[in-house]
Amino acid sequence: MHILVIGGAGMVGRKLIERLARDGRLGGTPITRITAHDVVTPKLPEAPFPIDTRVSDLSVPGEAAALVAERPDVILHLAAIVSGEAEADFEKGYRINLDGTRHLFDAVRMIEGYTPRLVFTSSIAVFGAPFPEAIPDEYFHTPLTSYGTQKAMGELLLADYTRRGFFDGIGIRLPTICVRPGLPNKAASGFFSGIIREPLAGQEAILPVSEDVMHWHASPRSAVGFLIHAATLDGASVGTRRNLTMPGLAVTVGEQIEALRKVAGDKAVARIKKVPDPVIETIVSGWPRKFDAARATALGFKAESSFEEIIRIHIEDELGGKIAD
């Protein structure tokens, strides 16, 4: 089985390729090759099969056709300009997130008799406030960012191209990924990970919102699990509604902090500094808090059931099991 990962240099892409290298197979079928594509060279793990890298811009005409010319059996499309950048650079966001996705879908469409499984990572940013208490699977998409708009358009294309038989698509709306490894960044959502990651590493973290802010989380390990399940799921069981809200965990910032206390003690919690930021409070108030991800759950997608579990996964996968004193 040949797998193409588009966006292979990103955090989730890298972890996905590591997992596939470890498993050596996908849905019971041995992997013979992975092609890892991104705009920068992906860092690759050791693997029992060859991994090629391709570096190009998917939005340049012809690049998508070159990528799929060898007819990979499974395509995982994770590449995107993130929310903040797509908001700051209107044209770049549409060029990569909408046109790049459409180029990929069209490149697959143009190859006769080729209908690979194609997994598209969408986002809960397709939803925009106001919301019901828990957002059901049938709730409409009124994104309040250009990024969310581009993802919602990608979902519509995916469903139509699948209905037409051009490929066998599954779109998955990822929760906010927590705990995101790496350095603190300036994303408005950064603090959800920062208030866990920094204290566990002995660093101070800033909390810019009040403790009653609720949000929808899943670990990086779950995100990889969603991608693998979406890549191997029986398409017929999904029907015509091809885009799914992934399961996750709805917790308040206060519950995040209490989970940190249980796992790492008062000393870790004391490293969280409350510095209210009205700008971030306002941005976050427009975000979804909680979903009823009934369809994805029924289809076998699984996320964490406690925030302590999310913290423990971070400690295992990123900190070699050790936390700062």
- In our burial notation (b when 16+ CB lie closer than 10 A, e otherwise), range 264-292 reads beeebeebbeeeeeeebeebbeebbbbbb
Give every CB contact of residue 256 below 8 A, 6+ residues apart in sequence.
Answer: 192, 195, 196, 307
Q: Does 60 bind its own copies (CB under 8 A)?
A: no
Residue pair 126/141 in contact by the 8 Å Cβ criterion: yes
Of the listed pieces 4-12, 54-62, 145-153, 210-218, which binds its own copies according to CB under 8 A?
Answer: 145-153
Answer yes or no whether residue 141 interacts with its own copies by CB under 8 A.
Answer: yes
C-alpha 26/C-alpha 34 separation (Å) is: 11
**Site map 258..277 versus its own copies, x via CB under 8 A:** --------------------
From the list 37-45, 136-144, 252-260, 276-284, the region that binds its own copies by CB under 8 A is: 136-144
Restricting to residues 201-240, name those near its own copies by CB under 8 A.
240
CB atoms within 10 A of CB 299: 17
Q: Which of residues 147-166 bind its own copies (CB under 8 A)?
A: 149, 152-153, 156-157, 159-160, 163-164
CA-based end-to-end distance of the chain: 45
Q: Does 53 bind its own copies (CB under 8 A)?
A: no
Q: Which of 114, 139, 147, 161 is catalytic?
A: 147
3-state secondary structure 176-235: EECCCCCCCCCCCCHHHHHHHHHHHCCCCEEECCCCCCEEEEECHHHHHHHHHHHHHCCH
Three-class secondary structure of residue 138 per DSSP: coil
**Looking at beta carbons only, is 16 or 118 nearer to its own copies?**
118
Distance of closest approach, residue 210 Cβ to its own copies, in angstroms:
24
Q: Annotated catalytic, 147?
A: yes
In the complex, minimum distance from the CB of residue 131 to its own copies, in angstroms, rounded to a whole number: 10
Residues annotated as part of the active site: 147
Binding site for its own copies (CB under 8 A): 90, 128, 137-144, 146, 149, 152-153, 156-157, 159-160, 163-164, 240-241
